[in-house]
């Protein structure tokens, strides 16, 4: 995702289709729940998860439509504060990944269930340093865990999915401790909801929300939880 892609609109979308580029949104995979998970309600009243999987617009939108999510913020993780802004991250040389910080109620949804949404609907975990038309380390698949228990759930789930061979390739998702999360610029927040007519959003992100409703209806939330609604309180 970059300014050129957004501005190019329909012409660039036609070029992508001609080249046969696939997207995670078109290839959602129905996955089993994690065999090992943190029981609901055993954590605090509010927990945090941080996932990266391509352009943060679509990942944010998916989790804004997930029941039990209290807030989902687009931002950057994996690099330093000095380079945590869009123009620098876009070079692919900062160590950052476009990420989404998810605040959730563990009494309503478990960390493992969030991982199930992430691997099934939010992105394609077999693509290395790219998602659809977006390429570079800033678009890598990554789980930034915030605790040893999150690390264990993520490690076991990746092993479970690889063993089940439900994807067309091996999962390449990076598992790394979260050192810091930096919110992205205000214009990136709620982008998919605020710009449904954007050719990029229509082509790559709205299908992810539709797939969430189709593949995991038990967690689908029709009205998204927006960052703007949180700051308005």
CA distance 67 to 104: 9
Within 8 A by CB and 6+ apart from 81, the residues are 180, 182
Question: Would residue 230 count as lying in a domain?
Answer: no
Own/partner contacts of 227-231, CB < 8 Å, gap of 24 or more, are: 227/71, 227/72, 227/73, 227/189, 227/190, 228/189, 228/190, 230/71
CATH code assigned at 95? 3.30.1060.10
| Ordered per-residue pLDDT tens for the chain, 233 residues | 554 444 444 334 433 333 334 444 467 999 999 999 998 766 578 999 999 999 999 999 999 999 999 999 999 999 999 999 999 999 999 999 999 999 999 999 999 999 999 999 999 999 999 999 999 999 999 999 999 999 999 999 999 999 999 999 999 999 999 999 999 999 999 999 999 999 999 999 999 999 999 999 999 999 999 998 886 55
pTM of the model: 0.90
Which domain covers residue 103, as residue numbers? 3-223
CA distance 170 to 133: 20
5, 25, 52, 55: the active-site residue: 55
Question: Would residue 231 count as lying in a domain?
Answer: no
| Residue closest to 105 by CA, chosen among 13, 15, 182, 42 | 42
Question: Would residue 61 count as lying in a domain?
Answer: yes
Question: Would residue 228 count as lying in a domain?
Answer: no
Question: Would residue 68 count as lying in a domain?
Answer: yes
Angle at 103 between CA 102 and CA 105, to 5 degrees: 130
Question: Would residue 229 count as lying in a domain?
Answer: no
Question: Would residue 75 count as lying in a domain?
Answer: yes
Number of domains in the chain: 1
Question: Would residue 60 count as lying in a domain?
Answer: yes
72 belongs to the catalytic site: no
Placement of tokens 């160590």 in the chain? 95
């Amino acid at each position: 995702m970059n300014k050129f892609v957004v501005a190019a609109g329909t012409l660039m979308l036609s070029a992508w289709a001609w080249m046969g580029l696939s997207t995670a949104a078109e290839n959602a995979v129905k996955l089993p729940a994690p065999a090992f998970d943190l029981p609901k309600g055993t954590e605090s009243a509010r927990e945090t998860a941080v996932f990266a999987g391509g352009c943060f617009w679509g990942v944010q939108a998916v989790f804004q439509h997930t029941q039990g999510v209290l807030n989902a913020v687009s931002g950057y993780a994996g690099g330093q504060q000095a380079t945590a802004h869009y123009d620098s991250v876009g070079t692919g040389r900062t160590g950052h990944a476009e990420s989404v910080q998810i605040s959730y109620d563990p009494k309503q949804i478990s960390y493992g269930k969030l991982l199930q949404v992430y691997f099934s609907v939010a992105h394609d975990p077999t693509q290395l340093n790219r998602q659809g038309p977006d390429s570079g380390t800033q678009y890598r698949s990554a789980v930034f865990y915030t605790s040893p228990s999150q690390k264990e759930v993520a490690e076991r789930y990746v092993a479970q999915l690889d063993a089940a061979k439900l994807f067309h390739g091996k999962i390449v998702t990076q598992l790394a401790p979260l050192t810091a999360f930096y919110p992205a610029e205000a214009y990136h927040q709620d982008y998919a909801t605020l710009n449904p007519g954007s050719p990029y959003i229509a082509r790559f992100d709205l299908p992810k929300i539709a797939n969430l409703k189709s593949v995991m209806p038990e967690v689908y939330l029709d009205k998204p939880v927006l960052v703007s609604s949180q700051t308005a309180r």
